[in-house]
Amino acid sequence: MNGSRLSKYAMVAPAVVLIVSLTIFPVLYLLWISLLDWDLQRAGRAFVGLANYAGALQDRRMWEALAHTLLIMVVAVTAELVLGLVLAEVLAGPLPGKRVVIPLLILPVIMSPIVAGYGWRMLWDTQYGPINQLLGWLLGRPLTLVWLINSKTVYFSLIVTEVWQWTPFMFLALLAGLVAISPEIHEAAAIDGAGRWQRFWQITLPLVRPLMLVALLIRALDVFKIFDTVFSLTFGGPGTFTETITLYVYLLGFRNFRLGYTAAMAVLVLALVSLATTVLLRRFSDE
């Protein structure tokens, strides 16, 4: 089909203008700022070339924030994958009542992460939260864990909250993959004497693998940018123990007002995410 040249470009133009003016242009401005020595607490903004980048790369706190982010990412996404796969496997079959169950399981994904984060902050509360209470019952003795401040438990709490919110996403994606596998393949394999486990490893997993990779990459990219959950639960604490990269850049820019330095670090984050995005995009089949 062939549209007139003019209308086909005219239809794209408004969107391009909007995206360019509010994302591309700001990114170019960001690049420019990153070359300046611009600090709101001092006068002047001299051009300093790549000095901010050199500083950022030697910033211990940035590397630590990156490490925290990667830790949350790897553990949370793995847990989401495993739990999501179990749920999908259970609900892919002809289970009566699943049409009611599935929309209920999805609710955490629909919730605002910041609202969910504050909700969980009340759940983790040492004195008034139900988690210590429930675990206390199970253990048969009162539990007074300070979940969000104790360095031994804080990551567990963060990751459980994250896993709670996003496992349903993984479940939903994998469910679609499992449902698409024709039952005849399983029946044929069963006739050939393949057991349940064998069928899972040899049939189910290879068939949902492409979808699984896309879901994993989407999730991993999202967790890399994690902000809301950390902001509401720990604000990076205790100290900077759970500070993630987005939170650190946020604090630098909006609490310390070191604009040039912040910009350089934001560019580094942008570069990292863009690199990861190209990997994801290759996985998207276009047809």
Partner 1 sequence: MHRYALAYLVVAVALAFFLFPIVWMFGMAVKQPAEYFSTPPVWLPRAPDLSHFRQLVLNRSINSLVNSLVIAGGATLLALLVGCPAAYSMARFNTGGRNFAFWVLSQRMLPPIAIVFPVFLLFRIIGWVDTYQGLTLLYAAFNAPYVIWMMRGYFRDIPVEVEESALVDGASTLRVFWSISLPLAAAGLIATGVFTFIFSWNEFLFAVVLTRARVVTVPVAMSGYFGSQSTFWGEAGALSLLASAPVFVLSLLVQRYLTRGLTLGAVK
> Shortest gap between Cβ of 103 and partner 1 (angstroms)?
6
Alpha-carbon distance 231 to 243, whole Å? Answer: 9
By the rule CB under 8 A, 225 interacts with partner 1:
yes
By the rule CB under 8 A, 239 interacts with partner 1:
no
Question: Quick one: CA dihedral 26, 29, 31, 37, positive or negative?
Answer: negative
Tokens of 159: 């990751």
Spatial CA neighbour of 229 closest among 143, 87, 124, 103: 124
User: Length of the chain, please?
Assistant: 287
Furthest-apart CA atoms within the chain: distance in Å:
79
- Determine contact, residues 121/232, Cβ cutoff 8 Å: yes
> Shortest gap between Cβ of 223 and partner 1 (angstroms)?
12
Give the range of 41-49, 64-72, 195-203, 223-231 binding partner 1 by CB under 8 A: 223-231
Tokens of 84: 């999501």
By the rule CB under 8 A, 127 interacts with partner 1:
yes
Out of 43, 44, 60, 128, the only residue in the binding site for partner 1 (CB under 8 A) is 128
Alpha-carbon distance 122 to 114, whole Å? Answer: 13
Q: Where are the beta strands (DSSP E) in the chain?
A: 36-38, 45-47
What would the x/- binding string for partner 1 be over residues 103 to 122, using CB under 8 A?
xxxxxxxxxxxxxx-xxxxx
By the rule CB under 8 A, 251 interacts with partner 1:
no
Q: What are the phi and psi torsion angles at 36 (to 5°)?
A: -110, 150
- In the range 163-222, which residues lie near partner 1 by CB under 8 A? 164, 167-169, 172-173, 175-177, 211, 214-215, 218, 221
* Total number of residues that touch partner 1 (CB under 8 A): 98
Alpha-carbon distance 204 to 100, whole Å? Answer: 25
By the rule CB under 8 A, 254 interacts with partner 1:
yes
By the rule CB under 8 A, 101 interacts with partner 1:
yes
- In the range 1-40, which residues lie near partner 1 by CB under 8 A? 1-4, 7-9, 11-12, 14-16, 18-19, 21-23, 25-27, 29-30, 33
Q: Where are the beta strands (DSSP E) in 36-193?
A: 36-38, 45-47
By the rule CB under 8 A, 91 interacts with partner 1:
yes
Give the range of 44-52, 63-71, 191-199, 225-233 binding partner 1 by CB under 8 A: 225-233
> Shortest gap between Cβ of 182 and partner 1 (angstroms)?
16
